[in-house]
C-alpha cells in the first residue's frame, strides 16, 4: 500500500525536552511538508522540502527543526525553544507535477506537553 505514515500517533513531552516526530512516505514524492493544527484552526506551515537535502522554513518555523536525508523521510524535531508545542502535527507529500496536484496527508501526531 502506498501512503504516508506518521509515528507516534500520540506523544507526550515534558517541558524542556526535545521530541522527534516521524514521517515516512512510499509514494516516491519529492516534496514533503509539515503543518501544525491547533483546535478549531486551519493548518499552518512549519517547514517544507522540495527535494532531498534541501528544506525551507514556513510561517511558524521557530522552535522546530527538520532534516531530509532520504527522499522517503522528513522527521520533525520539536525543540525546547518551542514554547507552546501542544498541537496536532500533520505531514504531507506531493508529486512533481507542479502546483496542479494534490497533497497527500499522513494520519497526524498529537503532541501534548505535560
Binding site for other proteins (CB under 8 A): 4, 6, 31, 33, 35, 40-45, 48, 50, 56, 58-59, 88, 90, 92, 94, 98-108, 110
CB of residue 80 vs other proteins: minimum separation in angstroms? 26
CB of residue 111 vs other proteins: minimum separation in angstroms? 13
C-beta of 18 vs 101, nearer to other proteins: 101
Task: Yes or no: say if 47 and 66 are a contact pair by the CB < 8 Å rule.
Answer: yes
CB of residue 18 vs other proteins: minimum separation in angstroms? 24
Measure the CA–CA gap between 76 and 89, rounded to whole angstroms: 9
Cβ neighbors of 110 (< 8 A, separation 6 or more) are: 9, 10, 11, 87, 88, 89
Closest listed residue to residue 85, CA positions, set 96, 93, 75, 77: 77
C-beta of 17 vs 41, nearer to other proteins: 41
Amino acid at each position: 500500500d502506498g501512503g504516508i505514515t506518521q509515528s507516534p500517533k500520540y506523544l507526550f513531552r515534558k517541558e524542556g525536552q526535545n521530541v522527534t516526530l516521524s514521517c515516512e512516505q512510499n509514494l516516491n514524492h519529492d516534496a514533503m511538508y509539515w503543518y501544525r493544527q491547533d483546535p478549531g484552526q486551519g493548518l499552518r506551515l512549519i517547514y517544507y522540502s522540495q527535494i532531498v537535502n534541501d528544506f525551507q522554513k514556513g510561517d511558524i518555523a521557530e522552535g522546530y527543526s527538520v532534516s531530509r536525508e532520504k527522499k522517503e523521510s522528513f522527521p520533525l524535531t520539536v525543540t525546547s525553544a518551542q514554547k507552546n508545542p501542544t498541537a496536532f502535527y500533520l505531514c504531507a507529500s506531493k508529486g512533481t507535477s507542479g502546483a496542479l496536484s494534490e497533497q497527500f496527508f499522513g494520519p497526524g501526531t498529537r503532541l501534548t506537553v505535560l
